[in-house]
């Protein structure tokens, strides 16, 4: 605990009054979220007045702009992709940036005087190994809007892993009226990408809104979605080992979900999918264990493993390629997708050839976009409509 003598307290009070007087008339809130000041009083008038508003807004012509309060800052910048944009100080400590961006999702890094900071006034997700801001530029696609579709539930679970020897975590999405379903529901194990965690598909991916909108229109089957942290570590010597995910999934995660939720235990009622690194994990799990999974989704995705190896590793594909007719005769769906501007597009084309040469049936989707959430959201939207359907799709 910090102790101040009476003189120090008086000086602190004088300083606070002085700062308050300096800011008087600027319309800038004296207290900020995540600061060490007292919480700002809630006032609808203050919240909605332009000077008190921070975040992403839209001008009369529809142009998006970011407005932030950065006390005593000299330079404020925003890195979006490979571009860096410079804010203008429009009032004292009030910074604005008009953006020429199309609607969609964008990773964003806020720099104040050259130092990366996390703004509580912009959306926050987890990526690149740490919490980070992102932008949602509207208008949002209809399938992402949170309309009046019935809502599901999200559960955060912790459990001990015999594979990693430590406590692991996962998020479990339950569809609307989960408790009222008379029979166990099919389950999708859905993985994030490198440097992300189990929250990515919830915050950046908006998977709940995507599925709930489809359910409301009768275009998807009710299902449970399990999202685990795929950045798995072993011993200090091992470090990160994403390739342990199949073992973790089979020995730890599937049994844990089976004990605690009403999900189907047959392969026809179980799917695995993921984006980028998560697609590699999904491929390794599904192809090595066809007795467990009948549905596979690879978004921004790869059949082979490209992480921690000098050359693409397709060891887990060997049995399927040895007798593709038998293997894929049992498989209900192999969904492969990627963005047309994805930096890994050439790998996707190489794996097109693998599928063609070996007679591997798959649903193939190529979208406008890169290696980003705009593509992965659309991938999930299309994949969910095919998942657990009675008719086999090719």
> What is the Cα–Cα distance from 7 to 109, expressed in whole angstroms?
41
Task: Report cis status (omega within 30 of 0) of the bond before 139.
Answer: yes
For 152-195, how does the pLDDT look when each residue is reduced to its tens digit (9 = 90+)? 999 999 999 999 999 999 999 999 999 999 999 999 999 999 99
Provide the percentage of residues in the chain whose pLDDT is more than 90.
77
* Band of residue 237 on the pLDDT scale cut at 50, 70, 90: low
The token pair that represents 328 in the structure block = 């894929």
The alpha carbon of residue 54 and the mean position of all alpha carbons in its chain are separated, in whole angstroms, by 23
pLDDT surpasses 60 at 103: yes
Helices 373-386 and 207-216 pack at an angle, to 10 degrees, of 40
pLDDT surpasses 80 at 48: no
Q: Where are the domains of the chain?
A: 45-139, 143-386
Task: Quote the pLDDT of residue 20.
Answer: 42
| 3-state per-residue secondary structure call for 332-382 | CEEEEEEECCCCCHHHHHHHHHHHHHHCCCCEEEEECCCCCHHHHHHHHHH
Mean pLDDT of 16-35: 37
Count the residues in the chain.
Answer: 394
Task: Quote the pLDDT of residue 146.
Answer: 82
Task: Quote the pLDDT of residue 7.
Answer: 45
Mean pLDDT of 218-239: 87
Provide the percentage of residues in the chain whose pLDDT is more than 70.
84
| pTM score, whole prediction | 0.85
For 113-156, how does the pLDDT look when each residue is reduced to its tens digit (9 = 90+)? 999 999 999 999 999 999 999 999 999 999 999 889 999 999 99
pLDDT surpasses 70 at 263: yes
Task: Quote the pLDDT of residue 259.
Answer: 98
Question: What one-character-per-residue DSSP string does 197-226 give?
Answer: -TTHHHHTS-HHHHHHHHHHTT-S---EEE
Mean pLDDT of 244-262: 97
For 368-390, how does the pLDDT look when each residue is reduced to its tens digit (9 = 90+)? 999 999 999 999 999 999 999 98
**Superfamily per CATH, domain 143-386:** Alpha/Beta hydrolase fold, catalytic domain (3.40.50.1820)
Q: Are strands 55-58 and 64-69 parallel, antiparallel or unpaired?
A: antiparallel
pLDDT surpasses 90 at 11: no
> What is the Cα–Cα distance from 318 to 265, expressed in whole angstroms?
26
pLDDT surpasses 90 at 235: no
Give me the architecture of the 45-139 domain, per CATH. Sandwich (2.60)
Task: Quote the pLDDT of residue 123.
Answer: 95
> What is the Cα–Cα distance from 209 to 136, expressed in whole angstroms?
15
Taking all residues of the chain, what is their mean pLDDT, rounded to a whole number? 87
Lowest mean pLDDT among 43-47, 235-239, 293-297, 355-359: 43-47
pLDDT surpasses 60 at 44: no
pLDDT surpasses 60 at 47: no
Sequence-distant (≥ 6) Cβ neighbours of residue 29 within 8 angstroms: 40, 46, 52, 69
- Asked whether the CA dihedral 142, 144, 145, 151 is positive or negative, the reply is positive
Q: Which of 149, 270, 275, 272 is nearest to 214 (CA)?
A: 149
Task: Quote the pLDDT of residue 239.
Answer: 67
pLDDT surpasses 60 at 307: yes
* Band of residue 310 on the pLDDT scale cut at 50, 70, 90: confident
* Cα end-to-end span (Å), the chain: 65
Lowest mean pLDDT among 17-21, 142-146, 160-164, 275-279: 17-21
């Amino acid at each position: 605990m910090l102790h101040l003598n009476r003189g120090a307290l008086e000086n602190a009070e004088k300083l606070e009054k002085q700062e308050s007087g300096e800011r008087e008339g600027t319309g800038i809130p004296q207290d900020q979220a995540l600061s060490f000041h007292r919480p700002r009083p809630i006032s609808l008038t203050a919240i909605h007045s332009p000077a008190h508003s921070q975040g992403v807004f839209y001008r009369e012509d529809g142009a998006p702009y970011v407005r932030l309060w950065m006390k005593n800052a000299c330079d404020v910048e925003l890195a979006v992709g490979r571009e860096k944009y410079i804010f203008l100080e429009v009032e004292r400590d009030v910074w604005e940036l008009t953006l020429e961006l199309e609607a969609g999702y964008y990773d964003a890094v806020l720099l104040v005087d050259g130092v990366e900071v996390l703004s509580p006034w912009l959306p926050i997700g987890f990526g690149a190994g740490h919490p980070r801001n992102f932008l949602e530029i509207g208008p949002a696609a209809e399938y992402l809007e949170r309309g009046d579709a019935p809502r599901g539930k999200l559960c955060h679970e912790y459990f001990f892993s015999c594979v990693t020897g430590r406590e692991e975590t996962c998020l479990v999405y339950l569809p609307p009226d989960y408790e009222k379903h008379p029979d166990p529901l099919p389950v999708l194990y859905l993985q994030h990408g490198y440097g992300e965690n189990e929250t990515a598909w919830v915050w950046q991916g908006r998977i709940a809104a995507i599925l709930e909108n489809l359910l409301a229109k009768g275009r998807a089957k009710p299902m449970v979605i399990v999202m685990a942290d795929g950045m798995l570590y072993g011993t200090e010597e091992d470090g990160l080992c994403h390739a342990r995910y199949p073992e973790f999934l089979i020995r730890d995660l599937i049994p844990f979900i089976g004990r605690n939720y009403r999900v189907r235990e047959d392969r026809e009622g179980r799917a695995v999918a993921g984006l980028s690194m998560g697609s590699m994990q999904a491929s390794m799990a599904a192809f090595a264990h066809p007795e467990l999974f009948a549905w596979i989704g690879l978004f921004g995705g790869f059949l082979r493993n490209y992480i921690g190896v000098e050359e693409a590793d397709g060891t887990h594909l060997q049995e399927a390629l040895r007798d593709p007719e038998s293997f894929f005769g049992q498989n209900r769906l192999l969904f492969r997708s990627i963005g047309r501007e994805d930096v890994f597009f050439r790998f996707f084309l190489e794996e097109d050839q693998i599928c063609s040469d070996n007679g591997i049936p798959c649903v193939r989707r190529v979208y406008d976009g890169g290696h980003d959430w705009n593509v992965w959201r659309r991938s999930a939207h299309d994949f969910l409509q095919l998942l657990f359907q009675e008719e086999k799709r090719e």
